[in-house]
Structure 1
Amino acid sequence: MEFETMLDDAIWIANSLFTRGKATGSSANLSFRCEDKIYITGTGTCFGRLKKDDFAIMKYESVGDCLPMNTVIASKEFPLHLAFYRKSEDIKAVIHTHSFYSTVFSCFNHEKANDIMPDITPYLKMKVGTIGLVPYARPGSKELFALFGQRIKDDDAFLLANHGPIVAGSNLMNAFYGIEELEENARIALHFRNPNL
């Protein structure tokens, strides 16, 4: 029953993000952890058309290795999700999008790499925590995964430079609320910089 609820939440979240323009094409990915398995959207899937059989199933071993359990190919950015799951047993879900305002904010030069987002809304720190910046590397590349691994313990969520946000949560809805709060905070922060955005 718990798994079915998680699966329903994952599909609802994906469709909600897509229909509101916060995920486009096949660029976003999400995952959730249930018992000893990680379910992640398959490569090339579209959040607007996501179905229950579009998830790759990865068996999570105690040493943090993952073995595929079905024929769906996991998103090429699965290592980013895995880094979160290795970070804390409390993390049960991860969402990554290319949402507009967070991505724009990731393109600026920032004086520091950690806690880069001004907490304009009162809920950013409450729902997400600190937001770090991961230097640019090609999406899906080993270089990106290495850079992300070096930063994973420094902040709670991240902006991948020139790429987009990635947020984790104790469940799918918390990760969803977090990525929504981050996007809204980025929108307001950018409005102060340029009201025409």
Structure 2
Amino acid sequence: MSDLVEELLAAGRGLAASGMSPGTSGNVSVRVGDEVHLSASGTSLATLTAEQMARTTLDGTPVTEGDGPTPRPTKEWPLHLAMYARDPEYRCVVHLHSPSAVAASCLAPWREHTAFAPVTPYVVMRVGNVPLVRYAAPGDPAQAERVRGSALRFHGALLQNHGSIAAGRTVAEAVDRAVEIEEAARVRLLLGDRLDARLLTDDEVRELVEAYGQPWG
């Protein structure tokens, strides 16, 4: 078993234990060479095993092992492949139905480039832009095409009325971004539509972007 897959399984258990992947919701993947290892359809991140990992090529062709194909991948596999297509350095994608991100995905975004106003430094430091991707039914290739074809730079997004997706060059980076999106969503919900909430100034945001290098605007 690849070390990346082993790391992913451990990360999945951690996400489930923290309440960010209830039941069989959410799915994860890693890129190993020219293959993508994805959690299989109907699996729980709390109990996911190496035997429950599906494998495809980068164009979605199932990988055959022994006498037949590996398990059927999550129906969200087009979304995972769309994220890998955006950046050849990505090695992990995390898609969650975490409660705050789901709730925030039902609200109007702050700006076109990001759903979240910069009320704290952290989403700017750790993720950058978090756009709201227009709704499509789970597994619909149309949503994957919106992600793949977006000209906006981003490492994570909210999927309208659905949840979140995040990618990274390592498993830890992708998971950290998914967690930060959930925290930013929670803060968004706590603040509601308060008009007196202080936002970071343009200069303060610019300083963070220059220091941490995440995409913004």
In the superposition, the TM-score normalised over structure 1's length comes to: 0.88
Structure 1 residues 134, 14: closer, same or farther in 2, change over 3 A? Answer: same
- Deviations along 1:116-143, whole A, 9 cap, x unmatched? 2123332212221210111111111133
Residue aligning to 1:167? 166
Code of the aligned partner of 2:48: L
Partner SS, residue 30 of structure 2: strand
User: Are positions 1:56 and 2:50 aligned together?
Assistant: no
1:194 to partner: Cα distance: 7.6
2-side partners of 1:89 and 1:144: how far apart?
Answer: 20
Partner SS, residue 155 of structure 1: coil
**Structure 2 residue runs without a partner (length 5+):** 64-68, 195-217
2-side partners of 1:66 and 1:162: how far apart?
Answer: 25
The 10-residue stretch of structure 1 (158-167 or 8-17) with the greater mean CA deviation from structure 2: 8-17
2-side partners of 1:111 and 1:122: how far apart?
Answer: 16
- The number of residues matched between the two structures is 189
Hey, which bits of structure 1, 4+ residues long, moved more than 4 A?
Answer: none
1:43 to partner: Cα distance: 0.8
Q: Percent identity?
A: 30
Partner SS, residue 9 of structure 1: helix
The 10-residue stretch of structure 1 (136-145 or 86-95) with the greater mean CA deviation from structure 2: 136-145
Q: Aligned ranges for residues 51-90 of structure 1 at < 5 Å?
A: 51-60=49-58, 65-69=59-63, 70-90=69-89
Assess if the C-alpha contact under 8 Å between 2:97 and 2:164 holds in 1. Answer: yes
Assess if the C-alpha contact under 8 Å between 1:31 and 1:41 holds in 2. Answer: yes
2-side partners of 1:138 and 1:112: how far apart?
Answer: 23
1-side partners of 2:97 and 2:186: how far apart?
Answer: 14
In the superposition, the TM-score normalised over structure 2's length comes to: 0.80
Residue among 21, 25, 28 paired with 1:27? 25
Assess if the C-alpha contact under 8 Å between 1:132 and 1:154 holds in 2. Answer: no
Structure 1 residues 172, 152: closer, same or farther in 2, change over 3 A? Answer: farther
User: Are positions 1:43 and 2:41 aligned together?
Assistant: yes
- Deviations along 1:56-109, whole A, 9 cap, x unmatched? 11133xxxx232113211111111111111111111110000001111111012
Residue aligning to 1:125? 124
Assess if the C-alpha contact under 8 Å between 1:15 and 1:48 holds in 2. Answer: yes
1:147 to partner: Cα distance: 3.0
Code of the aligned partner of 1:181: E
